[in-house]
Structure 1
Amino acid sequence: MVGSFGAGLLLANEGAHLPSVNDFLPPEILFQGTPFAINRIILIRIVATVVLLVVLGITAKHAKLIPGRWQGVVEYGLDFVRDKVVYDVMGEARGKRYVPMITTIFFTIFVFNLCGVIPGMNMAATATVVMPLVFALWTLIQYWVTAARSQGLGHYLRHELFTPGVPWPVYFLLAPINLLEC
């Protein structure tokens, strides 16, 4: 109790140190000072990606009509994503097109987060905002492409930008009000 009180007084005396972004990123391990610098998180991503590709590649190479235990586990995971995630949400007719993308995202996030509990790694590969941002951008682009294909680009943009049923002069009346609120 006295130690934490003393530390608090010392912190108050010296002033608070506000953390920067660099305080949350591990130091670079390889290629320091270059655009190709690799820190611990990127190294974990590389290792996890290689392990995921090797496991799925070896499983696919040795696939049999009557699966063994390991092939059964992998197929169970693939069937789970297809049936319980994609088809239950989107339906089979619409979901068939998105099974590869959603399966890739699902297993990548699963393996990357699993790295956080593996001794020696102890850090999830999704520990920074970059991986969720990449997955979000990939999903957003797929959403835009699908909407533009199904509705046409002009109709899709009109529907997204302007609420259906509101007369167009109302938008010009509300625009100055919206600018004032910002």
Structure 2
Amino acid sequence: MKKTGIVILALVGLAAAFLYPSANSNRRQSGRAQTHNQKRVLHQIPARVTSKIKPAETQHQPESNQKSAELTPEELLARLVGKWEQTKSTSRQILTINENGTATMVIEPQGIWRSVLGKKVTIDIEWRLNAATLTLRAVGGSPENKLDYIKQLWGSEFVREIHSIEEKMFTLRDDQGDVSQKWIRTSY
């Protein structure tokens, strides 16, 4: 019984090798015919009417979605203060930014990181804002041994450019200029 199954499996494999190229060529030929028909249909569609919107109107951004470079330091500070949340595949992070230059980040690890860091790590932070550059520096936290581990992995200072800041969201750029973090406001 076992030998018969192996022989049948081998024959099916050989047959598939011979049948697949012919089936694939049939697909290619029918695909070419469909593409040819599609081209004819596309040529029959009339050109779209151009929009009457003026270029200046398309470039205007609403005040709530301004780039950080367009805001004064006071406006940036006013928008930055509050409680923000970010959820990644590795953790949920809650960042509370106070007006006095202090902040707290609570990290709730997920997946394998939970077994390494535990249920929760709290980091006490000093922050500063220079133009649109946000610097966060860890100055304490708990549990202390987990905080030391985090500092070894990712460092104790975090410097990022604020890409955009709205009433309910802000984004940060990484060192390569890519938008790398999106924070959602949970309270003021």
TM range (shorter): under 0.3
More helix by share: 1
Q: Looking at both structures, which has the greater relative contact order when contacts are Cα pairs under 8 Å and sequence separation is at least 6?
A: 2
With structure 1 as the length reference, what TM-score do the two structures score? 0.25
TM-score computed with the length of structure 2 as normaliser: 0.24
